[in-house]
Structure 1
Amino acid sequence: MDPRVREHARTVVDHSAGIEAGEQVVISAPAAASDLVVALYEECADRGAHPVSLRRNARAKRAFLRNHDGDFETPDHLLAMYDEMDAYIAVLGDVNATETADVDPETNAAYRRAMKPVLEERLSRTFCLTQYPTSGNAQLAGMSSEAYENFVWDAVGLDWDAQREHQARMVEILDDADEVRIRSGERTDVTMRIAGNSALNDYGEKNLPGGEVFTAPVKESVEGEVHFDMPLYRQGREIEDVRVRFEEGRVESYSAGRNADVLDGIFETDAGARYLGELGIGMNRAIDQFSYNMLFDEKMGDTVHMAVGSAYPETVGEDNETNESAEHVDMIVDMSDESVIEVDGEVVQRNGTFVFEEGFGED
C-alpha cells in the first residue's frame, strides 16, 4: 500500500473527523478506493472506534434511478443507521465519471427531494468528504494516474494549521461586513448582503482537501448577473458557460452553453433551489489546476463559487432566514483577471490576490 494512503487515512481520522474511542463510524466508498477503506479501518481500530462500510456503486445507482417509476420514498432504514452513527466519512472516486449521464434530470430531482431528510441527518453528525485518486477522475482531469495521485495527495497533505491562519484573515474581513460585491470581466457584477451571518474557515475538516472561506448571503439580497465561466460536472454531465440573473435573491433567468436541461432539473427541484445558499472564496494555492471535481475546484485560489440551494445552518445568523433545498450546487467564477471582490466598498481581492498578500495592487 502506498504510504500516502495511510497518511491520508490518518489525516481524516485525526484532523478532519476527530474519531475517538467507542464512536460508531460509517464509511461510504467505491470499490476503487478499497485501499483507503482498509487504512481507515486500521486507524479506527487503533483508536477503539467501530467502523462499518457502505459500498458506493454508480452503476447500481444508475440502474435504480432508470428503472424506478420516480415516486421515491425516504429510505427509513438508511435514516435509522445515520441516526445511530457518530461520524460519517464519504470517499469519492470514479471509474466512470459519466456513469449516471443518461438518468433523466427530473428523476434525479425527485430522488434528491426524497433523500433530503437523510442528507440533513447525515450533515448533523461529524462528517468528512474526501477523494481517492482513481483512474476515472484522473482521466476527467486530463492527467496521468501518477500525476493525479500526486495532485490529490499534495492537496490533502497541506499544513492545515498554516492554512487555517492564512484563511483567518479573510474570515476577519467578512465577519463584520454588510455587503459583498463581485465583479469579473464584462458579464459578472453581483452584490449580496451577509450582515448577521458567519464566515467559516474550511481548513480540511468537513472537506479534505479544504481551503476556502465561506458564508451565506441574506436570502433575498442577491442582485445582479453572474457568468460562471468554469464548467462543472453534475449527474455525470458537463455543464458549461452558465449565466444567471438574480432579482431579490431569486434566479429569474439563466442559460448554459451545454446541458442546460440539467440546470432545468436543478432549479425545478424545489423553491429553495433558485436562491443562493453559499458564497465561497477559494484560497488553496496547492490546487493549481482545474480537475472537473468540485471538491478541489471550488478551493482553487483565484476563484469564487456560489451554490444555489441549501445553506449551511452554521453560517446563518439567528435573525436571518436559512435557505432550505434538496439541492446544493456549486458553480465557479474565475477571478484571476479583470476581477475584484469588494467588501463594503473596499477592494479586498484584485485579480486573485488578496489585500493581505504580497503583490496586491500591482499591475
Structure 2
Amino acid sequence: MNTRYNENLERYADLIVRVGLNIQEGQQVLISAPVTTYEFVRMVTNKAYEAGALHVMTDFYDEELKKIRLEKSSEEGLKVYPHWKQKGYIEMAENNVALLNLIAPDPSLLKDADPERVALLNKVGAEASKEFSSYIGGGKISWLIAAYPTRQWAESVFPGLEREDAVEKLWENIFYTTRTDREESVDRWEKHIGELNKRARLLNEAGYRKLHYKGPGTDLTIGFHQQTKWISAQFTNDRGTPFVPNLPTEEVFTIPDRTSVNGIVSSTKPLNYAGTLIKDFTLTFKDGKVVDFSAQEGYETLKNLLVADEGASYLGEVALVPHDSPISNTNIIFNNTLYDENASCHIALGRALSVCVENGNNLTEEELNDVGFNQSMIHVDFMIGSNELNIDGEKADGTLEPIFRNGDWV
C-alpha cells in the first residue's frame, strides 16, 4: 500500500501504545494476537519499547486451529484447558502488566460448527479465566482491544469489492474511526475523551434511577442503583494510570440493577458471537431476566449464549452512543462488536463491570449483589440504537427528562 497508509499505520500503533495502553516507564507488556498479525505486532512492540516498556511478551494464536479442534476433538477433549497459561496471566496481572488483545476476526469462521460444541468450548475457557477476568472488568490493569483487518472480515463488510480493495477500504475506515487518518491523532483523542467524560459527568449529576427506551420493536425500562455511576471508556488502573480499553470508542456507560429490567428490545445490527452471526433478534425481559427471545439467524447460538450460566440471561452493561458519530456516519455494518457497538446504543448480557460502582473493586461479592451487580462468566454487547430510538431518564421523584431523540443526545 502507499506512503499514506504506512503513516496512518504508524499513528495507529502509536495510539495503541500511548493512549490505549498508556505504557509507563519500566512496565511489562503482553500482546495476545493472531499469528497473521505478526508484522503489525512487531511495529507495536517497537513503539512499546520506545515508550519505556521493560519487556514485551507475545502470545500468538490461530483461530483456524480452534475450528479444527471443534470439528475433530472428542467432547472430553473440548473440556481440556491449559490452566498453566491462566496462572501465568494472573502472575503478570499482579505485576501490573499492560495487555493488548489484538483481534483479526473472521465473522463466519464457525458458521457451520455445532453450536453446542462451541458453547461448551467457550464455557470451559470462561470458567478457567474467571480470576483473570476480574482484573479486566475491574480495570485493575491497563488493557486494550484493537482490531486488525483480515481478508475474510473485509469481504464480509464489503462483499461487492475485490479482495485487495475490500481490505484497503476496511483499513481506511479503521484509520478514520480511530482518528489516525490525520496528524496529531493523540491530541485529538485526548480532546475526544474529554468530551465523553463531560457526558458521563452530566448523567451522574442528573441522578437518573431509570431509563425508558422507545423505538421500532423496542419498549424497555432499565433501573439503576444509586451507588452505580456513568463513566466513559477511560479507566484508571490500580497504579493510578489512565488508559482507554477500546479503540475506537464513542460510549458512556454504566451497569443496571440486574432485576430492574422489563420489556422488549430489538437488535439493530448483527451480533458476531464466537464466530457466528446472530441477526434480527429480540429479547423480552421480566424482572431482569430474559424470558423469551427470537432470532432470524443464529437462533441456536443465541439460545446457548443465554444459558451459559445463571447471569447470562441478565444485563451487565448499559451504554449510550449517539447515532451521529464517526462510526455510525460511515453507514457501514462492520460485523464486529468493537466497531458496531460504538456506532449504536447497546446493552450487554452477562458480567457487570465493577468500575461502574463506587469503590467497586474493594466490595465483596455480597456487597456488589446489594447494588444489583450481575455475576457471569460472559459479557456480550449487542446493538439496539438507531436514528429512531428515543430515551427518557426518570429521576427519583418520577420526573422524566429527554436524553435521546431520534438517536442523538438532546
Fold shared per TM-score above 0.5: yes
Offset at residue 208 of structure 1 (A): 0.9
Whole-angstrom CA distance in 2 between matches of 1:173 and 1:136: 41
For residues 211-261 of structure 1, give each alpha carbon's deviation from its aligned partner in whole angstroms, at most 9, with x where no partner exists: 111111101000001011321222222211111110000000001011200
Residue 310 (structure 2) pairs with residue 271 (structure 1): yes
Whole-angstrom CA distance in 2 between matches of 1:120 and 1:321: 21
Residue 116 (structure 2) pairs with residue 106 (structure 1): yes
Whole-angstrom CA distance in 1 between matches of 2:265 and 2:60: 38
Map of 1:352 onto structure 2: 407
Secondary structure at 1:125's aligned position in 2? coil
Map of 1:361 onto structure 2: none
Residue 342 (structure 2) pairs with residue 299 (structure 1): yes
For residues 24-68 of structure 1, give each alpha carbon's deviation from its aligned partner in whole angstroms, at most 9, with x where no partner exists: 211111233223201111012221331111222111111223333
Map of 1:97 onto structure 2: 107
Residue 209 (structure 2) pairs with residue 178 (structure 1): yes
Map of 1:329 onto structure 2: 380
Letter in 1 for 2:409: F
Offset at residue 199 of structure 1 (A): 1.1
Q: Is the 8 A contact 1:304 1:333 kept in 2?
A: yes
Q: Is the 8 A contact 1:298 1:304 kept in 2?
A: yes
Map of 1:155 onto structure 2: 177
Map of 2:326 onto structure 1: 286
Residue 57 (structure 2) pairs with residue 52 (structure 1): yes
Change (3 A) 1:276 1:57: same
Whole-angstrom CA distance in 2 between matches of 1:235 and 1:76: 21
Offset at residue 173 of structure 1 (A): 3.7
Whole-angstrom CA distance in 2 between matches of 1:119 and 1:103: 25
Q: Is the 8 A contact 2:107 2:335 kept in 1?
A: no
Residue 144 (structure 2) pairs with residue 128 (structure 1): yes
Letter in 2 for 1:160: W
Map of 2:254 onto structure 1: 215
Residue 172 (structure 2) pairs with residue 168 (structure 1): no
Q: Is the 8 A contact 1:70 1:111 kept in 2?
A: no
Whole-angstrom CA distance in 2 between matches of 1:321 and 1:161: 33
Q: Is the 8 A contact 1:179 1:192 kept in 2?
A: yes
Map of 2:365 onto structure 1: none
Letter in 2 for 1:194: F
Identity of aligned residues (%): 25
Residue 55 (structure 2) pairs with residue 14 (structure 1): no
Residue 390 (structure 2) pairs with residue 340 (structure 1): yes
Q: Is the 8 A contact 1:101 1:235 kept in 2?
A: no
Map of 1:314 onto structure 2: 355
What TM-score, normalized to structure 2? 0.80
Offset at residue 73 of structure 1 (A): 4.5
Map of 2:89 onto structure 1: 82
Offset at residue 206 of structure 1 (A): 0.5
Whole-angstrom CA distance in 2 between matches of 1:226 and 1:93: 30
Change (3 A) 1:108 1:125: farther
Letter in 1 for 2:380: V
Q: Is the 8 A contact 2:271 2:336 kept in 1?
A: yes
Secondary structure at 2:196's aligned position in 1? helix
Q: Is the 8 A contact 1:112 1:326 kept in 2?
A: no
Q: How many residues align?
A: 350
Q: Is the 8 A contact 2:111 2:277 kept in 1?
A: no
Whole-angstrom CA distance in 1 between matches of 2:260 and 2:357: 14
Map of 1:193 onto structure 2: 223
Q: Is the 8 A contact 2:268 2:386 kept in 1?
A: no
Offset at residue 105 of structure 1 (A): 2.2
Please point out which of 282, 286, 298 is paired with 1:243: 282
Whole-angstrom CA distance in 2 between matches of 1:329 and 1:87: 23
Instruction: Compute the RMSD of aligned alpha carbons.
Output: 2.0
Secondary structure at 2:197's aligned position in 1? helix
Map of 1:358 onto structure 2: none
Q: Which runs of 5+ in 2 are unaligned?
A: 180-184, 235-242, 359-367, 395-399
Residue range with higher mean Cα deviation, 108-117 or 307-316: 108-117
What TM-score, normalized to structure 1? 0.90
Offset at residue 315 of structure 1 (A): 1.5
Whole-angstrom CA distance in 2 between matches of 1:313 and 1:183: 28
Whole-angstrom CA distance in 2 between matches of 1:73 and 1:237: 22
Letter in 1 for 2:339: F
Whole-angstrom CA distance in 1 between matches of 2:141 and 2:119: 24
Letter in 2 for 1:91: L
Whole-angstrom CA distance in 1 between matches of 2:383 and 2:151: 24
Residue range with higher mean Cα deviation, 128-137 or 100-109: 100-109
Whole-angstrom CA distance in 2 between matches of 1:128 and 1:293: 16
